Amino acid sequence: MLMVVTGATNGAATEGETMVVGMTTAATVKYSNGRTVSCSSYAEALAEVRRSYPGAEIGHEGDLTRGGDRTLCWASAGDAANDDGARACASITHDRA
């Protein structure tokens, strides 16, 4: 499965930039409180995080859309500012094909 991410989507892609994410159908959201949610796709995982944190800031340099091993999620842009992941409320991972 390939996912194309276009535009400025909370850091997932910069304005006018397109990212192609190759991944299996499964994605997992791991919340900082220990809760884990299995999702059928990366898009579903994004929606899951946004249900729990409507103002979430999702994505960073080196996230899944840029070939990394995970995408970090913060409750807000303020939490994400200058953070190395210590204040992240969740991470999204997937099994590589």
DSSP H or E stretch at residue 58: strand 57-58
pLDDT digits (tens, 9 = 90+) for 54-85: 999 999 998 998 989 999 999 999 999 999 99
Domain range for residue 43?
2-94
Position 15 confidence tier, pLDDT thresholds 50, 70, 90: very low
Q: What is the pTM of this model?
A: 0.75
Is residue 7 exposed (0-12), middle (13-18) or buried (19+ Cβ within 10 Å)? exposed
* Beta-carbon contacts of residue 34 (< 8 Å; ≥ 6 apart): none
